Copies of this chain bind each other. A is one copy, B any other.
Amino acid sequence: MKNQSNAICLCPLDGVIDTIGKKWGLLIVNEIGNHGILRYNELMSELKGISPSTLASMLKDLEKEELIEKEVFREIPPRVEYSLSTRGRELREAIIPLIKWASKKGNYSIHCSCNLFK
């Protein structure tokens, strides 16, 4: 630790950043995390403003990155459940410091009623 600078390298973020850096990336992961299990239409309702095409494309992305898991029930009408993978749950933990940091300056409280880090 002496001969090594305190430099931080961001390379580890290289791949995932393209997914979780997108507008809805963290939002979706967190929403599923908050509920445990969510279906497509439930996500559409919770994430106010997202379009079906955007949501579908994001879900594919998140699944490919192994942040969420998808279970399909061959019923009529069809049922599909989304949940977080272990990796997804760990991500949700990992961003807590970032949220705490952001809360410090927050003018956000004007629009948000959450009181987690106040």
Contacts and interface: CB of A to CB of B under 8 A. Distances in A.
Interface of A: 5, 7-16, 21, 23, 26-27, 30, 33-34, 66, 87, 90-108, 111-112, 114, 116-117
A93 to B, nearest CB: 8
Q: Which applies to chain A's interface (DSSP): helix, strand, loop or mixed?
A: helix
Contacts of A34: 5, 7-8
Nearest to A90: B101
Contacts of A21: 21, 23
A11 to B, nearest CB: 3
A26 B14 CA distance: 12
B114 A11 contact: yes
